[in-house]
Amino acid sequence: MSKTIKKVGVLTSGGDSPGMNAAIRSVVRTCAYHNIECIGIYRGYQGMIEGDFKEMGPRSVNNIVNKGGTILKSARSVEFRTPEGRKKAHENLLKAGVDALVVIGGDGSFTGGLIFNSEYDFPVMGIPGTIDNDIFGTSHTLGYDTALNTVVDCIDKIRDTASSHNRLFFVEVMGRDAGHIALNAGIGAGAEEILIPEEDLGLDRLLDSLQKSKASGKSSSIVVIAEGDKIGKNVFELKDYVEANLPEYDVRVSVLGHMQRGGSPSCFDRVLASRLGVKAVESLIEGKSNYMVGLKEDKVALTPLEQAIKGKSEIDRELLRVSDIMST
190 is in an annotated binding site: yes
**Residue 76 marked as a ligand binder:** yes
Q: Is 132 a catalytic residue?
A: yes
C-beta of residue 13 within 8 angstroms of C-beta of residue 52:
no
CA distance linking residue 119 with residue 29, whole number of Å = 29
Beta strands 7-12 and 37-41: pairing type? parallel
Is 176 labeled as ligand-binding? yes
Is 259 labelled a binding residue?
Answer: yes
193 φ, ψ (degrees, to nearest 5): -140, 150
DSSP 142: B
Determine whether the annotation assigns residue 108 to a binding site.
Answer: yes
317 annotated ligand-binding residue: no
258 is in an annotated binding site: yes
**Annotated binding-site residue? 252:** yes
Q: Any known ligand binding at 29?
A: yes
Is 222 a known ligand-binding residue? no
Q: Is 27 annotated as a binding residue?
A: yes
Helices (H) and strands (E) in the chain, counts: 11, 11
Kindly state the greatest CA–CA separation across the chain: 72
Residue 81 is labelled as binding a ligand: no
Q: Is 159 annotated as a binding residue?
A: yes
209 among annotated binding-site residues: no
Is 243 marked within a binding site? Answer: no
303 annotated as ligand-binding: no
256 near 174, Cβ under 8 Å? yes
Active-site entry in 16, 99, 132, 134: 132
Is 260 annotated to bind ligand? Answer: yes
CB 69 within 8 A of CB 16: yes
Q: Is 107 annotated as a binding residue?
A: yes
Q: Which residues are annotated as a binding site?
A: 15, 25-29, 76-77, 106-109, 130-132, 159, 167, 174-176, 190-192, 218-220, 227, 252, 258-261
Q: Which residues are annotated as a binding site for ADP?
A: 25-29, 159, 190-192, 218-220
Q: Which residues are annotated as a binding site for Mg(2+)?
A: 107
Q: Which residues are annotated as a binding site for substrate?
A: 130-132, 167, 174-176, 227, 252, 258-261
Q: Which residues are catalytic?
A: 132
Q: Which residues are annotated as a binding site for ATP?
A: 15, 76-77, 106-109
